[in-house]
Amino acid sequence: MTSTRREFLVRTGKYLLLTPAAAAAIDNILAGNAATAPAYDMSDHWWGMAIDIEKCIGCGNCVRACKVENDVPVEGPYFRTWVERYHVSYQEPGGEAERITVDSPEGGYNGFPEKYREGDGAKSFFVPKLCNQCSHSPCTQVCPVGATFESPDGAVLVDKAYCMGCRYCVQACPYGCRFIDPRTETVDKCSLCYHRITRGLTTACCEVCPTGARSLGDFKNPKDPIHDFVRLNNVQVLKPQMATGSKTYYSGLDGSVR
């Protein structure tokens, strides 16, 4: 073998070996923040959310914080998370078994101006709502192009660069947690602050919740408080009859909650 031919083979061999390596390296860099790409392993996590109804005071911190953290339009019916106030009275003579009144003024963004008086025979409470991060989500099932999906670590996410804006997923979500961002004409919804939780932070809404009514949970972490939460409380999910595999567990959820 002449030296030029050997050189040629060595050089080609190098290129062949290095190209995939270089490609992988470039991919890694292009993948985004170098700080997140190698340190976070999706298979170590299975995300969920714990909500304790008996602790929610309807302050609206979560709604405001989410809009700031995730750049959600402040004006208009666009909410990644919101709080509802329920007012339930029972067994009106000659009437319905229960009368339920719900309100959510601007999603709870500015709190809840008092509407009810003490001692009117009804009970009232707050219910924070968000994307339930379903493990059998009907929304990802119907997306025609795969622009919304369940990540391997249990978050239901949106691919804004791929979404066509057909709105099928908005129709399919039983919880009403999706909306179309009027600025991008693509779908948006609670992403469980994926950019935060993959960096070891908690979600914006949990960060600012003053009573601990909302807390992020990682089922794969044996020390995570969510294990005790679901074990020691009577927990429910919203609309269990829809069998969506919701991973947002509510403790103290009243039967009147829709």
Partner 1 sequence: MKELLKDKEHLVRMGLLFLGGTLAFMVARIIFVPKGYGMYGQYRAGALDDNRSRPLSFAGRAACEDCHSDISEARAGSKHAGIGCEACHRALAKHAEDPEKVKPVRPDAQSVCLVCHEVNVAKPRGFPQVEPKEHAEEQPCNTCHLPHHPEKSPDEPAEETPVEVQQ
Partner 2 sequence: MESIVYAVEGFMYPNEMELQWSILIVLYPFITGLVAGAFILASLERVFNVEAVRPTYRLALLTALSFLLVAPLPLQLHLGHPERSFEMYLTPNTSSAMAMFGFVYLWYLMAVLVIEIWLDYRKDIVLMAREKTGLMHWVYRVMALGSDNISPRSLEIDDKVGKFVTVIGIPSAFLLHGYVGFIFGSIKANPWWSTPVMPIVFLFSAIVSGVATVLLMYMFMTWISGKTLDMRCLDTTARYLMYAFIIDFSLELLDLIHRIYESDESFKTLDFMVHTRLYTSQVIVQIVIGTLFPIGLLALVQLVKVSDLARKGIYVLSACLTLVGIFAMRWNVVIGGQLFSKSYLGYTAYKMDFATKEGLLPAVILLLLPFVILWGLVRLLPTTPGEPEEA
Rounded to an integer, what distance in angstroms lies between the CA atom of residue 167 and that of residue 188? Answer: 10
Rounded to an integer, what distance in angstroms lies between the CA atom of residue 236 and that of residue 254? Answer: 9
When the beta carbons of 12 and 221 are compared against partner 1, the nearer one is 221
Rounded to the nearest whole angstrom, what is the least distance from the CB of residue 214 to partner 2 in the complex? 17
Q: Residue 106: which of partner 1, partner 2, none does it interact with, CB under 5 to 8 A by kind?
A: partner 2
Interface residue with partner 2 among 6, 115, 167, 199 (CB under 8 A) is: 167
Q: Residue 142: which of partner 2, partner 1, none does it interact with, CB under 5 to 8 A by kind?
A: partner 2
Rounded to an integer, what distance in angstroms lies between the CA atom of residue 60 and that of residue 105? Answer: 11
Q: Per-residue x/- mask for partner 2, residues 176 to 195, rule CB under 8 A?
A: xxxxx---xxx---------
Rounded to an integer, what distance in angstroms lies between the CA atom of residue 122 and that of residue 87? Answer: 6
Interface residue with partner 2 among 57, 88, 122, 142 (CB under 8 A) is: 142
The pair of three-digit structure tokens given for residue 51, joined into one six-digit string: 């909500």
When the beta carbons of 84 and 153 are compared against partner 2, the nearer one is 84
Rounded to an integer, what distance in angstroms lies between the CA atom of residue 78 and that of residue 67? Answer: 9
Rounded to the nearest whole angstrom, what is the least distance from the CB of residue 6 to partner 1 in the complex? 35
Interface residue with partner 2 among 141, 202, 233, 236 (CB under 8 A) is: 141
Interface residue with partner 2 among 102, 116, 201, 228 (CB under 8 A) is: 102
Q: Residue 69: which of partner 2, partner 1, none does it interact with, CB under 5 to 8 A by kind?
A: partner 1
CA angle 53–227–218, rounded 5-degree value: 90
Residue 170 touches partner 2, criterion: CB under 8 A? yes
Quickly count helices (H) and strands (E) in the chain: 7, 11
Rounded to an integer, what distance in angstroms lies between the CA atom of residue 232 and that of residue 184? Answer: 43
Cα 152–chain centre separation:
14
R_g over Cα of the chain: 24
Residues of the shown chain interacting with partner 2 in the complex, contacts defined by CB under 8 A? 76-79, 82, 84, 100-107, 129, 138, 141-147, 162-168, 170-180, 184-186, 242, 258
